[in-house]
């Protein structure tokens, strides 16, 4: 407790003094004028439903602002932030009406004319804006191993989100996907901390357009989420307890957030869960010591949905909401995503007036909130833009970027006897629950929270079947099998299969996220497995396409398939991208950003410890994934040669990469480091660098990758970065070079 109060003193008195020196004169002037009630209002974030016509979660359609509710929020409670979409996406015109009504009242009728900071989850495009450009989900983007595509996708997402008048995006997800069962696995950049760091910081740059000091009116504030360890649950179920050592917390879960902070991310959202028995929202060691002092984050920290309420109802570390409010504010949160009432506001005002929380403590958070609004230019112009200002909304240029991202993400896992690419005149039978579904291509956070309401799908975009048919009129379709059961058959699907040259069967799972996405078994549903087995009995070549939130176990159906393709959730242009790859118009270049498990138990990561590979026969074969991290085939033969390493001030690694085929190819060159001996048990290998290159037919390139001694550090017993001299192995593809560092 003594340490807690020392930290609180620093938070209340030392940090404000430092940050005040850098704060704008506008912010400081406002702070001096604000009442306690106005300051607490700035720290309050409400759900849009609270100010709309109708009841919460049962709004009148179409959704519109209710004036008296808005007045209560803005004029009576001085609310500083609003979020959400009222349940489903709106067209630009409706967003302009909603945002315009809110900002007009805030900037013309409130006493201090402070604009509202509006936030939304635009995680794979401006997914709550009708007609916007939708990109692959983050997991698929990581499979491109091309962060330039993600940065450009972030820029487009920001542009189309700001076109709606929304300046704050609750993205990127920087959680590291270590548990394949986790319902939000598809929202991560995979299992590797380095990949998550590279892609996460690229997305921050795309969203904000710079280093975060100023964000122009075509970009948005990024929000890193969910700090910290949210994905580290033991069960894989959403928002369940995590037991994470200090070493693991800093080695696995911290780096991606540090990279995003270094890239200038303006805001952060806090992990809803608990780590080692302490809810993160009530943990100053995470929110002050680590986030602020060690990592140097200066921006705005917002709770997740109802998370102060959850300190009472779920975590049971506070007897009532007033005590929960006290604990969360003193632990370091700046803004509460309440989201559906004014209890937080009422209790925080009481706590200040009772002297339990000082007004200086409020100033710390309010300064951060006002500075964020200032950096976004909201004081100059908070109103939504005219449509003409954003003439490239959903433009062909934006659509082409989404298509490229999908094409480079799709990963060819198996291709026996070179069945792919398919002939353009082949007779193809397309089937399975994902074959004619835009919903499954896009996943959750698509026009609605769970992304399962097909009425909001963009009918102008192609499903897998429609995309294949657009290239080959000899394509027939019958779904036959649903997600969980065999459907009533229209026509004779067996005859359709027998008449085809090739069967393309598209399997997967219904989009879901958070609690609704919890599952008890990673196995692909039995009905789909049995259907694939039945199709293989026809003797026809079977191309298995996986459209998945997370890797579902397919061990029993892979053998006997002529090809296997991982499509992930590739977005609105995923059908077109897959068709381009299956017909050979695009050479596949995706690589798995995670270890694809073969079994339900022992779904280890590629950077596992040596003891995790011990088998029951005292051998070393327990690590048996279906496909390894970084696996991905091409229609070209790419060869590596002449690996060399020079060790001076920096470690320079060179390797020759040659395309031995007649097709142009894209190849992701992955560099792994193995520490042979360390005082903390080392992983078998860790990814430390990668670069994606293009190779013309027959072309050879020398790829140069640079490392420094920090790349050979690990988190030591004191939870600090540690370098130990010794021998290391550098591995690229099948080539290995042993080096000594002193």
Spatial contact of 707 and 645, defined as CB atoms under 8 Å apart: no
| Nearest by Cα to 175 from 188, 159, 160 | 188
What DSSP letter does each residue of 277-303 carry, written as one string? TEEGGG-HIIIIIIIIIIT---SEEE-
Please state, in angstroms and rounded to a whole number, the distance separating the CA atoms of residues 667 and 658: 10
CA 720 to chain centre: 27
Which position has the token pair 């029993």? Answer: 556
At 51, list the tokens.
Answer: 């100010």
Distances (CA, A) of 393 to 85, 124, 127, 205, 388: 19, 15, 13, 20, 10
What DSSP letter does each residue of 12-74 carry, written as one string? IIIHHHHHHHHS-HHHHHHHHH--HHHHHHHTEEEEGGGGBSEETTEEPSSP-B-HHHHHIII
Q: 14 Cβ partners below 8 Å, 6+ apart?
A: none
For residue 692, the cross-strand partners are 668
Q: Which helix (H) or strand (E) holds 588?
A: none
Which position has the token pair 């996907």? Answer: 177
Q: String of b and e for 5-38 (b: at least 16 CB within 10 Å)? A: eebbebbbeebbeebeeebeeebeebbeebeeeb
What DSSP letter does each residue of 483-494 carry, written as one string? SSSBPPPSS-HH
- Which among 121, 238, 304, 572 is annotated as catalytic? 304
Q: Is 304 labeled as catalytic in the residue annotation? A: yes
DSSP structural state of residue 434: T
- Reading phi first (left if > 0) and then psi (alpha if -120 to 50, else beta), residue 306 is in left
For residue 596, the cross-strand partners are 627
Please state, in angstroms and rounded to a whole number, the distance separating the CA atoms of residues 286 and 308: 16
Spatial contact of 630 and 674, defined as CB atoms under 8 Å apart: no
Which position has the token pair 């943990």? Answer: 283
Spatial contact of 435 and 465, defined as CB atoms under 8 Å apart: yes
Please state, in angstroms and rounded to a whole number, the distance separating the CA atoms of residues 394 and 389: 13
| Nearest by Cα to 484 from 544, 545, 552 | 552
Q: 216 Cβ partners below 8 Å, 6+ apart?
A: 209, 377
Q: Would you name the residues annotated as active-site residues?
A: 304
């Amino acid at each position: 407790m003594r340490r807690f109060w020392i930290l609180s003193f620093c938070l209340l008195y030392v940090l404000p003094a430092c940050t005040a020196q850098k704060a704008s004169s506008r912010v400081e002037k406002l702070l001096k004028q604000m009442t306690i009630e106005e300051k607490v209002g700035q720290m309050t974030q409400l759900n849009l439903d609270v100010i709309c016509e109708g009841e919460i979660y049962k709004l009148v359609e179409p959704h519109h602002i209710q004036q008296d509710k808005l007045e209560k929020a803005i004029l009576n409670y001085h609310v500083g932030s609003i979020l959400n979409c009222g349940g489903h996406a709106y067209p630009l015109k409706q967003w302009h009406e909603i945002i315009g009504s809110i900002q007009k009242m805030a900037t013309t009728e409130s006493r201090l004319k402070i604009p509202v900071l509006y936030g939304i989850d635009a995680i794979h495009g401006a997914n709550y804006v009708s007609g916007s450009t939708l990109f692959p989900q983050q997991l698929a983007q990581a499979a491109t191993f091309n962060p330039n595509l993600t940065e450009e996708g972030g820029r487009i997402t920001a542009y189309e989100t700001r076109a709606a008048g929304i300046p704050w995006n609750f993205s990127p997800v920087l959680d590291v996907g270590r548990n394949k069962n986790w319902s939000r696995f598809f929202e991560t950049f995979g299992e590797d901390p380095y990949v998550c760091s590279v892609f996460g910081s690229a997305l921050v740059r795309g969203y904000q357009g710079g280093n975060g000091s100023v964000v122009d009116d075509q970009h948005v504030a990024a929000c890193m989420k969910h700090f910290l360890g949210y994905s580290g649950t033991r069960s894989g179920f959403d928002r369940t307890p995590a037991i994470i050592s200090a070493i693991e917390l800093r080695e696995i879960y911290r780096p991606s957030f540090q990279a995003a902070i270094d890239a200038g991310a303006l805001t952060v959202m806090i992990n809803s869960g608990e780590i080692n028995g302490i809810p993160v929202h009530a943990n100053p060691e995470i929110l002050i010591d680590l986030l602020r002092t060690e990592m140097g984050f200066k921006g705005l920290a917002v709770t997740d949905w109802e998370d102060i309420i959850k300190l009472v109802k779920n975590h049971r570390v506070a007897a009532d909401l007033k005590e929960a409010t006290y604990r969360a504010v003193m632990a370091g949160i700046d803004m509460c995503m309440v989201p559906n009432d004014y209890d937080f506001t009422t209790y925080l005002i009481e706590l200040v007036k009772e002297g339990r929380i000082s007004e200086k403590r409020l100033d710390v958070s309010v300064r951060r909130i006002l500075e964020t609004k200032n950096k976004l230019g909201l004081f100059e112009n908070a109103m939504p833009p005219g449509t003409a200002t954003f003439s490239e909304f959903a433009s062909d240029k934006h659509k082409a970027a989404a298509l490229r991202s999908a094409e480079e993400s799709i990963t060819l896992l198996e291709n026996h006897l070179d069945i792919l690419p398919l002939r353009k005149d082949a007779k193809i039978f397309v089937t399975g629950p994902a074959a004619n579904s835009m919903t499954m291509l896009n996943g959750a956070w698509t026009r609605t929270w769970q992304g399962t309401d097909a009425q909001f799908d963009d009918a102008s975009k192609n499903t897998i079947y429609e995309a294949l048919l657009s290239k080959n009129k000899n394509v027939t379709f019958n779904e036959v099998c649903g997600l969980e059961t065999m459907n009533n058959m229209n026509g004779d699907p067996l005859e359709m299969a027998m008449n085809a040259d090739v069967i393309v069967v598209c399997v997967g799972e219904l989009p879901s996220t958070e609690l609704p996405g919890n599952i008890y078994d990673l196995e692909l549903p039995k009905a789909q497995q049995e259907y694939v087995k039945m199709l293989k009995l026809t003797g026809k070549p079977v191309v298995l396409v996986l459209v998945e939130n997370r890797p579902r176990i397919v061990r029993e159906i892979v053998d006997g398939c002529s090809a296997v393709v991982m499509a992930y959730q590739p977005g609105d242009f995923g059908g077109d991208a897959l068709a381009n790859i299956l017909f050979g118009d695009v050479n596949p270049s995706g690589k798995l950003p995670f270890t694809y498990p073969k079994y339900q138990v022992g779904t280890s990561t590629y950077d596992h410890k040596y003891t995790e590979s011990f088998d029951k026969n005292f051998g070393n074969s327990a690590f048996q994934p279906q496909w390894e991290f970084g696996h991905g085939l091409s229609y070209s033969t790419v060869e590596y040669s002449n690996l060399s390493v020079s060790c001076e001030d920096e470690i320079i690694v060179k390797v020759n990469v040659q395309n031995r085929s007649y097709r142009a190819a894209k190849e992701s060159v992955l560099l792994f480091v193995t520490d042979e001996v360390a005082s903390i048990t080392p992983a078998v290998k860790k990814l430390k660098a990668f670069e994606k290159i293009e190779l013309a037919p027959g072309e050879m390139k020398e790829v140069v990758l640079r490392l420094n001694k920090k790349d050979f550090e690990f988190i030591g017993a004191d939870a600090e970065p540690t370098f130990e001299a010794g021998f290391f192995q550098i591995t690229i593809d099948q080539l290995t070079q042993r080096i000594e560092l002193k």
